[in-house]
């Protein structure tokens, strides 16, 4: 029989994880090779216990969520990323464009955070995007607007010659408070080429735009799109690059692993397993020692795995969302939105304390 060894109440089936744990508990940073090892190992329970230890030291039993509304003003997109089912071309029967009134109608009194991400519309001038932020801010000045990925900011600079500094300054003046973390995909030239997102901001540009935002006092999130053709080394490298930027700016609030939704794009034919989802979350918690929060994004990993992830290093469930379109265009089986009571119940069922937050992680209500 395999010999287990126990260190600090963690039972290790895979002894190669013990040196990683020794680094983590002594406050030494883990490196690229350690990161890749966390994905390779079959001892996912030990990886989870290590990450849970780190999470609990940082935020105790608290798990955050926000009453938010995801709005995707258009799915018309100039890019043709091979993994994306959401994007459509002009004239496609499923293409849509929302008016400002339609956007405003989606926001209700309860909403704290408005999350806006959309297609890179070839004909919408920069002012149209600016007008969306302005219209929301004017009608609902108290709502926090988290809008536009670095990929969109990069597109505005190439299509409309509005450089990132100017775009972000204008969005901020219009009412933008923070930026979502999408568009990062995987920081790898190989993956970028194979998945045909070469027309999109690459690693350097994505990081540069977040660096600019952070310097301007705009906090942001970061993501990884995983569960397709990326290698474990590429995942670990992606995390390292985010950690380096965070050392420099301290502007990131949360990291969100996005499990590739197979849909009709079928870059690979099977979804990542729940074990892989949990290892992704736990490895992120262990490597990103300078990120305040790790999200279990229930839309892509489903409620059940998200609830388990709250004991694998995640301390945030994202939010109620309203109507999610990106993962659901790719046939995600999770609900399109979740009621506050259900999120509270899921967090409680995971043995954690639900804390309702705003977009900047100020605590609004603790559900004891
Ligand atoms: O940028 C596209 C990804 C992202 C697929 O910052 C796909 O709080 C999986 O940015 N399978 C948009 N992912 C989502 C996003 C986000 C979501 C939740 C919270 C936050 C936050 C940000 O979705 C895109 C792209 O990377 N995406 N297609 C797909 N088939």
Given a cut of 60, is residue 181 above it in pLDDT? Answer: yes
CA atoms of 64 and 18, how far apart (whole Å): 30
What is the model's pLDDT at position 1? 46
Task: Quickly state the pLDDT bin for 8 (edges 50, 70, 90).
Answer: confident
Is the Cβ atom of 334 under 6 angstroms away from ligand 1? no
What is the model's pLDDT at position 265? 94
What is the model's pLDDT at position 9? 85
What is the model's pLDDT at position 2? 63
Domain ranges for the chain, please list them. 5-54, 60-366
The string of pLDDT tens digits covering residues 289-329 is 999 999 999 999 999 999 999 999 999 999 999 999 999 99
Is the Cβ atom of 74 under 6 angstroms away from ligand 1? no
The string of pLDDT tens digits covering residues 118-163 is 999 999 999 999 999 999 999 999 999 999 999 999 999 999 999 9
Task: Say how many CA atoms lie within 13 Å of 180 toward its Cβ.
Answer: 25
Q: Name the fold adopted by 60-366.
A: TIM Barrel (3.20.20)
The string of pLDDT tens digits covering residues 222-267 is 999 999 999 999 999 999 999 999 999 999 999 999 999 999 999 9
Of 224, 228, 217, the C-alpha closest to 172 is 217
Torsion sign (Cα): 241, 243, 247, 249: positive
Is the Cβ atom of 223 under 6 angstroms away from ligand 1? yes
CA atoms of 136 and 232, how far apart (whole Å): 41
- Ligand 1 probe mutation, 213, 326, 328, 331, most atoms within 8 A of CB: 326
Tokens representing 224 are 């990884």
Residue 197 backbone dihedrals phi, psi, to 5 degrees: -115, 35
pTM: 0.97
Mean per-residue pLDDT of the chain: 96
Is the Cβ atom of 257 under 6 angstroms away from ligand 1? no
Is the Cβ atom of 183 under 6 angstroms away from ligand 1? yes
Compute CA 297 distance to the chain's CA centroid, rounded to the nearest angstrom: 7
What is the model's pLDDT at position 230? 98
Strands 10-12, 5-7: pairing is antiparallel
Q: Which atom of ligand 1 is nearest to 330's Cα? A: 30
Given a cut of 80, is residue 278 above it in pLDDT? Answer: yes
Q: What percent of the chain is predicted at pLDDT more than 70?
A: 99
Contact (CB, 8 A) for 174 and 137: yes
CA atoms of 153 and 159, how far apart (whole Å): 10
Q: How close is the Cα of 8 to the center of ligand 1, in Å?
A: 37
CA atoms of 312 and 50, how far apart (whole Å): 8
How many Cβ atoms from other residues are within 10 Å of residue 27's Cβ? 7
């Amino acid at each position: 029989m395999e010999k287990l060894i126990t260190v600090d109440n963690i039972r290790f089936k895979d002894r190669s994880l013990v040196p990683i744990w020794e680094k983590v508990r002594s406050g030494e940073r883990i490196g690229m090779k350690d990161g890749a090892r966390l994905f390779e190992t079959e001892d996912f329970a030990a990886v989870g216990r290590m990450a849970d230890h780190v999470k609990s030291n940082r935020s105790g039993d608290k798990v955050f969520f926000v009453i938010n509304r995801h709005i995707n003003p258009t799915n018309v997109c100039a890019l043709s990323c091979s993994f994306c089912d959401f994007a459509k071309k002009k004239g496609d029967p499923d293409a849509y464009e929302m008016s400002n009134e339609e956007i405003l109608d989606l926001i209700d009194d309860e909403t704290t955070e408005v999350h806006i991400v959309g297609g890179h519309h070839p004909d919408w001038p920069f002012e149209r995007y600016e007008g969306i932020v302005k219209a929301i801010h004017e009608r609902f000045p108290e709502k926090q607007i988290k809008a536009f990925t670095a990929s969109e900011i990069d597109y505005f600079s190439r299509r409309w010659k509005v450089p990132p500094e100017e775009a972000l300054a204008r969005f901020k003046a219009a009412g933008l408070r923070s930026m979502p973390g999408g568009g990062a995909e995987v920081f790898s030239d190989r993956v970028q080429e194979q998945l045909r997102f070469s027309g999109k901001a690459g690693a350097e540009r994505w990081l540069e735009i977040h660096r600019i935002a952070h310097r301007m006092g705009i906090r942001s999130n970061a993501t990884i799109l995983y569960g397709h053709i990326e290698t474990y080394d590429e995942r670990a490298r992606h995390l390292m690059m985010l950690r380096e930027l965070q050392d420099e700016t301290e502007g990131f609030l949360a990291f969100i692993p996005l499990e590739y939704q197979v849909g009709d794009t079928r870059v690979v034919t099977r979804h990542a397993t729940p074990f892989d989802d949990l290892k992704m979350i736990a490895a992120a918690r262990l490597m990103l020692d300078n990120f305040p929060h790790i999200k279990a994004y229930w839309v892509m990993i489903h409620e059940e795995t998200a609830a388990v992830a709250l004991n694998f290093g995640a301390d945030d469930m994202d939010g109620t969302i309203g109507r999610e379109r990106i993962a659901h265009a790719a046939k995600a089986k999770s609900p399109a939105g979740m009621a506050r009571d259900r999120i509270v119940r899921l967090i409680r069922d995971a043995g954690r304390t639900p804390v309702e937050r705003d977009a900047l992680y100020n605590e609004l209500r603790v559900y004891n």
